[in-house]
Amino acid sequence: MIRIVILISGRGSNMASLLAAAASAEMPGRIVGVLANRPDAAGLAAASACGVPSRVVDHRLFASRDQFDAALATAIDCLEPDLVVLAGFMRILGEAFVRRYEGRLLNVHPSLLPAFPGLHTHRRALAEGVRIHGCTVHFVTPDLDHGPIIVQAAVPVLDGDDEATLAARVLAQEHRVYPLAVRWFAEARLRLRDGRVVLDSPQDGAAALIVPNAA
């Protein structure tokens, strides 16, 4: 069983999807802790309700990004994780932090990278008029939202969509593909080698691109 730590900033629905997956027999991993950079993150209560220890490392209490990163790393290392998972985590992490967890730090991003890195992805997708949008699970590298891609899921953009309807359609796919990628890692089938993603026997992920018919 690998040890998994989840970092959140808010609602924590991706965290909840990972907790649910970890509770099933197919996942050889255990969520050993949840850390938030905001004391008001709603996901903290959900973690407690599942009996998962949680802690806040409030970025506003640190004079610099590097000091916050160092405190966050100390909190993470107390939990001795094999894998660290960003799930709606909203602070950019510095190079030293990212290098420390290289090859065992994942993120889910709400766009089909490399389109729309950064924030407000759904608003920007609507503004650009793209017809296909989605989400991406990737290894985190120092270069924001540009790490090696593990799995993506696409959804249509429908006439009449607004930011909320589009975000909800994408989020449903995040809840499918993030547990899948974490399970691959826990099964030791997924790794980073020379900056490239290696996935052993990818049959169940031949659907690296998952395009559901139903909106």
CA distance 34 to 100: 18
Site for ligand GAR, residues 81 to 120, rule: CB under 6 A: 87-88, 90, 108-110
Binding track, positions 91-110, relative to ligand NHR; x by CB under 6 A: xxx----x--------x-x-
136-165: which residues touch ligand NHR (CB under 6 A)? 140, 142, 144-145, 147
- The whole-angstrom separation of Cα 130 and Cα 65 is 35
Q: Which two tokens stand for residue 85?
A: 């998972």
> For ligand NHR, which is the closer residue by CB, 89 or 178?
89
| Residue pair 29/2 in contact by the 8 Å Cβ criterion | yes
Q: Give the separation between CA 101 and CA 117, rounded to whole angstroms.
A: 21
- Measured in whole angstroms, how far is the alpha carbon of residue 127 from the centre of its chain? 25
Residue 140 binding result from ligand NHR, ligand GAR, none, given CB thresholds of 5 to 8 Å by partner type:
ligand NHR
* 115 near ligand NHR (CB under 6 A): no
* Per CB under 6 A, 118 contacts ligand NHR: yes
- The question of whether 109 is a catalytic residue gets the answer yes
Edge-to-edge strand list for the sheet holding 132-139? 54-56, 29-36, 2-8, 83-86, 105-109, 132-139, 149-156, 209-210
Examine residue 76 and tell whether it contacts ligand NHR (CB under 6 A). no
Our CB check for ligand GAR shows the closer of 104 and 133 to be 133
Q: Is the dihedral of CA 169, 172, 176, 181 positive or negative?
A: positive
**Three-state SS for 133?**
strand
174 binds, among ligand GAR, ligand NHR, none (CB under 5 to 8 A by kind): ligand GAR
Point out which residues bind ligand GAR (CB under 6 A).
8, 10-14, 87-88, 90, 108-110, 171, 174
Point out which residues bind ligand NHR (CB under 6 A).
86, 89-93, 98, 107, 109, 118-119, 140, 142, 144-145, 147
